[in-house]
Amino acid sequence: MVYLIQWNARGLRNKALAKDSFLKADIVAIQETFLTPSVNFALPNKILYRTDRHNSPSGGLLIGINKTFSSHLVNLQLPPSEVEVQAVRIVIESKSILIINVYSPHGNFESSFLENLYASLSPPFFIVGDFNIHHPILGSSRTSRSANVVLDWISTHNMCILNTSDPTYFKQGCHPSLLDLSICSPDLLYETKWTVYNDTLDSDHCPVEISFNYGNSKGPSVRRRIHWGKFGTSLNSILDRENDIHSIQSFEKLCYQEKNNNTLIKDMFSKKFPPWWSSECSYLLGQKRKFLRLAKQSRFNPYWNRAKHIAAKLRKLIIHLKRSYWDKLCDNAGSSKTSFRIIRSLRSRDIPQQNAHRLIILEGSNLTSPLGQANAFGSMFGSSPISEGIPLDFSGTATPMDSEFSIRELLQSLPKKLNGSPGSDGITGRMLRCLTLVNLKKILSLVNKIWLSGNIPPSWKHSVIIPILKPGKNASELKSYRPISLTSVLCKTTERMICRRLTDFFLKENIFHPHHFGFLPFGSCESLQMMFFNTLLKARSNKEYIIAASLDISSAYDSVWPDGVVYKALQIGLSGHTARWIHEFLTNRTLQVRWSGKLSASFTSNRGVPQGCCISPYLFTIYLHDVFEIIPPGVTCLIYADDIFIICSDPSLQNVKTKLQITIQKIQIWCQNWKLKLDPTKSTVVNFSNKRQTPNFQISVDNVYIPWSNNMKVLGIFFSANLSFNCHFNYVAKKALKRLGYLRALGGSNWGANTVHLLRLVNACIRSICEFGAHVTSYAGSTSWRKLEVVHHNCLRFAAGLPRWTPIPVMFAETGEIRLRDRSLALSISFLLRHFALGDNFSPIKKSNLCTLDGLRPSFKERFSGGTNWLNFLKDANVRIENFIPFVYPVELQQENTISIHTNDLPFQQSETPYPTLCKLFDEYVNKEWNSSILIATDASKGEVGVSLASLNITYN
């Protein structure tokens, strides 16, 4: 059953009850919305199509469609008229239906206008709206001018009126009228039921509900909740009785059975009202409907005034309850989870795009069936397998990586997010957390069997793909979606254990190039940005021409050659069970696409690494590690994930051109050999030289020119051609002001979040984006930073409730903050100190001597003084760099159960216990519980002048 509600709202912005009354409706057609294009309005679970008046706040049409339906706006070619018309076509279970929303402010219809409207229709259709006509057939005592024209038009074209004798318009002092008409094509007449609401919802028109059978009837939505206490007890008791679990499949089946046995089913719509609703609201609402029903029986009686009085009282109560609920919500706004949930809710109130929703265009034809769309996605994601293979030899010498996993590794790799999305097997992280240590060891034995044999279960190689629309892309194109894979949680746990071993192997063997960043320890984006910036500075300091190019790999993850990944893994020293497991993991995978509540057919994939798996970033990093072997001397190449940055510098512009073109051609050939493809339209070339002679040549990829630009975005930071960072500061200031607009909704003059919570939100949501990249942007001048400081000051004044004329020192004293420029310098110093502590073995910044701007001319050191200021700071603080303790990579424990961590209070700990008694009780407890252990104790406290250190106490038997 599909539910359609039509209503003349007389303004939507002040209708508190209207939104909640339309939650169950699949289609909403509203007239007189009184919305303007600058006003944001949203309905839960609806995609909205609006027609607003630009020159008047009155009028306006809105059609809301359930997000599970495919829909798109239909442009009608109609002659000019005062009548507002809106048309939307929806698809329900592969069946199309047209919804026409009409509003005539004065009831004036021309015959030519109606004929043009009918010529644009194709059955089946509904025409609903406020026609504002009077006729005896419609229960009126008079006949309006255009009534006969409309009724003759309906009769001529054999359309059907669904209205009964129930009026829809009620106003004090006026006779009830039937102004809202519901018209349908003949094929829908006997499938339709028409009813009028008993409440006007603070309008002068009652909503009309039209229910009709169209497509397969959908059952009620339910919410399933697992009783985790009973689930864990039942599952562990069954596993305790089982001496041995034969396979992962039997464990998956057992979890599925216990999940069904301990699941509570609850109707999602059992909660009819918003969270601030109270029993008094329900009472007043019932009283209002009662007197409104009595008032409809007579034209003049005291019930009208009584109904209006109760309605006003109800509105006042709703405002009070909403504000009280908002106060409680703002009290909890200090937590980051609540803060960002509020921000996301405010940002989601943007007006939806007025284009096709869930309508996919494939080869020029529209796909409207959700199942057909899901199959189209599955065919695209599983297409183009690589038939070419590489001979692989897995008979290498066994390494420590090939050993069995320990229970310690399993405990470290269990998912921390308990309610994450499960894979096709239905096992969640919380299910694994419910298992006892004994049962976890049984699961570990099954994982080790898979690890040693290399026979991965089918459920581990099956992905349920959720297409996620890329920002700014066309929603009707298949290529605009990014495939995010939901895979087995148990498989992800195994991947985490493998990734931990891969990390140790990469660092110990020093596999990767110092300029290869991303998904590796100490290879953050900040390091690449610093390397990029210092390379530009040194070239400009040497008065060289310098040109940089950023290259983009098209569909990088989805284009990876599985045999190529395993081949390169063997080349770097991975062999035995590890290489075999990776090969088995990537080949002959299956996938299904979940789209609009439908699951596609199963497709086989032999290409790419699944996005959403823990091991995929590591495999992609291995796949790109040998790019540096083809880079010519004198060219700097920096890689982060699938982003490649090339920097060429030379005193001769012609040499720079030759180097850059040769390097890009070599990278292009390398990509072709390994089944990847560069996208020149997403690549950029920037001239960072400070020379008067500008380049007049083009750089091409596969005979397609790469566009030149005045700035380059390097992992979130915009590098301007003159290294002024003005483009970056303008972008961040605009973004921060937009977030400040969202935060203003949280703080009103009379109600809202308090100062402490607002300051937390400002620091978490606005100051954080201003400080991003401070290790690089701190080198900019104070003039450039002034743009962000002005925005930061406005945010602090708003959070503290200070007037605009408040002096900046007073503002900082009231809020406890410091200048944004000073914070950026402190973050820059912290970044450089961290890299000095890492040393040459783990820090590419320290190894390349990029921390001190060595080798630059004095004029450059004066301009970019960040690298020297922090050295002066250390000198003033009497800190010597040579005294830094070098970082040592921690050694993994070779024996299990050698360390136990105790974080709970000891049984005798009480604040009122005297210190001598406490020491005696502690000695007795140590001799009893930890007599043969080495104790390392710390309270992890810190103060204004120092921090606590661990103390070592060796006790022998």
Phi-psi sector, 546: left (phi>0), alpha (psi -120 to 50), beta = beta
**Sign (positive or negative) of CA dihedral 871, 875, 877, 880:** positive
Mean pLDDT of 135-142: 85
pTM equals 0.76
Assign 197 a pLDDT band (cuts: 50, 70, 90): confident
- pLDDT exceeds 90 at position 850: no
- Record the tokens describing residue 219, joined without a space: 């059952």
Distance CA 440, CA 626 (A): 39
* pLDDT for residue 27: 92
User: Which H or E run includes 793?
Assistant: helix 782-800
User: Which H or E run includes 377?
Assistant: helix 370-381
Distance CA 797, CA 811 (A): 7
Mean pLDDT of 800-811: 90
- pLDDT exceeds 50 at position 514: yes
* Whether the Cβ atoms of residue 47 and residue 69 lie closer than 8 Å to each other: no
Higher pLDDT, 846 or 299: 846
Assign 636 a pLDDT band (cuts: 50, 70, 90): very high
- In the Cβ-directed half-sphere of 856, how many Cα atoms lie within 13 Å? 26
Distance CA 469, CA 478 (A): 9
Mean pLDDT of 121-133: 92
Phi and psi at residue 48, to the nearest 5°? -105, 135
* pLDDT for residue 957: 40
* pLDDT for residue 215: 61
* pLDDT for residue 56: 75
Task: Count the neighbouring beta carbons within 10 Å of the beta carbon of residue 583.
Answer: 19
Parse the chain into domains and list their residue ranges.
2-212, 226-266, 279-332, 400-719, 724-883, 896-954
- pLDDT exceeds 90 at position 912: no
* pLDDT for residue 939: 65
Class (C level, CATH) for 2-212:
alpha beta
Mean pLDDT of 573-595: 90
Distance CA 746, CA 752 (A): 5
Q: How do residues 429-488 score in pLDDT, each as one tens digit?
A: 899 989 999 999 999 999 999 999 889 999 999 999 999 888 878 888 888 898 889 999
* pLDDT for residue 474: 82
Q: How do residues 301-355 score in pLDDT, each as one tens digit?
A: 778 888 889 989 998 998 888 878 877 776 665 555 666 666 666 555 444 443 4
* pLDDT for residue 220: 55
Could you say which DSSP state residue 904 is in? Answer: S
- pLDDT exceeds 80 at position 17: no
Distance CA 49, CA 84 (A): 14
Q: Which long-range contacts (CB under 8 A, 24 or more apart) does 252-255 make?
A: 252/425, 252/426, 252/427, 252/459, 255/425, 255/426, 255/427, 255/431
Could you say which DSSP state residue 492 is in? Answer: H
- pLDDT exceeds 80 at position 808: yes
**Sign (positive or negative) of CA dihedral 229, 230, 236, 240:** positive
* Whether the Cβ atoms of residue 638 and residue 624 lie closer than 8 Å to each other: no
- Record the tokens describing residue 923, joined without a space: 């000695």
- pLDDT exceeds 80 at position 941: no
Query: What average pLDDT does the chain have?
Result: 83
Residues linked to residue 367 through DSSP beta bridges, in sequence order:
360
- pLDDT exceeds 70 at position 300: no
Q: What is the CA radius of gyration of the chain?
A: 34
Distance of CA 181 to CAs 190, 196, 249, Å? Answer: 17, 12, 59
Distance CA 259, CA 425 (A): 12
Q: Which long-range contacts (CB under 8 A, 24 or more apart) does 438-443 make?
A: 438/240, 439/235, 439/236, 439/239, 439/240, 440/407, 440/410, 440/411, 441/407, 442/239, 442/242, 442/244, 442/245, 443/245, 443/251, 443/410, 443/490
Distance CA 625, CA 639 (A): 9
Among 91, 96, 73, smallest CA distance to 354 is for 73
Phi and psi at residue 718, to the nearest 5°? -90, 115
* pLDDT for residue 619: 94
- pLDDT exceeds 50 at position 12: yes
Q: How do residues 246-260 score in pLDDT, each as one tens digit?
A: 888 889 899 888 888
* pLDDT for residue 354: 39
Distance CA 740, CA 609 (A): 39
* Beta-sheet pairing, 516-517 with 708-709: unpaired
Distance CA 560, CA 624 (A): 10
DSSP string, 80-133: --S-EEEEEEEEETTEEEEEEEEE-SS----HHHHHHHHHT--SSEEEEEE---
Mean pLDDT of 841-862: 62
The residues, ordered by sequence, that sit 6+ positions from 324 with a Cβ below 8 Å of its Cβ are: 276
- pLDDT exceeds 50 at position 582: yes
* pLDDT for residue 890: 66
The residues, ordered by sequence, that sit 6+ positions from 330 with a Cβ below 8 Å of its Cβ are: 746, 752, 753, 754, 757
Mean pLDDT of 618-637: 93
DSSP string, 753-769: --HHHHHHHHIIIIIHH
Peptide bond between residue 124 and the one before it cis (omega within 30 degrees of 0): yes
Distance CA 112, CA 117 (A): 9
Higher pLDDT, 95 or 651: 651
Assign 944 a pLDDT band (cuts: 50, 70, 90): low
Q: How do residues 878-906 score in pLDDT, each as one tens digit?
A: 777 777 777 777 665 555 556 777 767 77
* pLDDT for residue 870: 61
Residues linked to residue 210 through DSSP beta bridges, in sequence order:
4, 194
Which has the minimum average pLDDT: 129-143, 284-298, 661-675? 284-298
Return the amino acid letter for 395: S
* pLDDT for residue 351: 40
* Most distant CA atoms of the chain, gap in Å: 108
3-state secondary structure of 746: coil
Among 79, 90, 41, 91, smallest CA distance to 61 is for 41
Q: How do residues 653-706 score in pLDDT, each as one tens digit?
A: 999 999 999 999 999 999 999 999 999 999 999 999 988 888 889 999 988 999
Distance CA 700, CA 244 (A): 62
Percent of the chain clearing pLDDT 70 (strictly above): 86
Q: How do residues 755-780 score in pLDDT, each as one tens digit?
A: 887 888 888 888 989 999 998 898 88
- pLDDT exceeds 60 at position 794: yes
Distance CA 50, CA 86 (A): 8
* pLDDT for residue 677: 92
* pLDDT for residue 451: 92
The residues, ordered by sequence, that sit 6+ positions from 584 with a Cβ below 8 Å of its Cβ are: 454, 455, 456
- In the Cβ-directed half-sphere of 858, how many Cα atoms lie within 13 Å? 0
**CA 79 to the chain's CA centroid:** 44
Which has the minimum average pLDDT: 16-25, 542-551, 620-629, 733-742? 16-25
Assign 567 a pLDDT band (cuts: 50, 70, 90): very high
Which has the minimum average pLDDT: 98-107, 185-194, 619-628, 866-875? 866-875
* pLDDT for residue 387: 75
- pLDDT exceeds 90 at position 645: yes
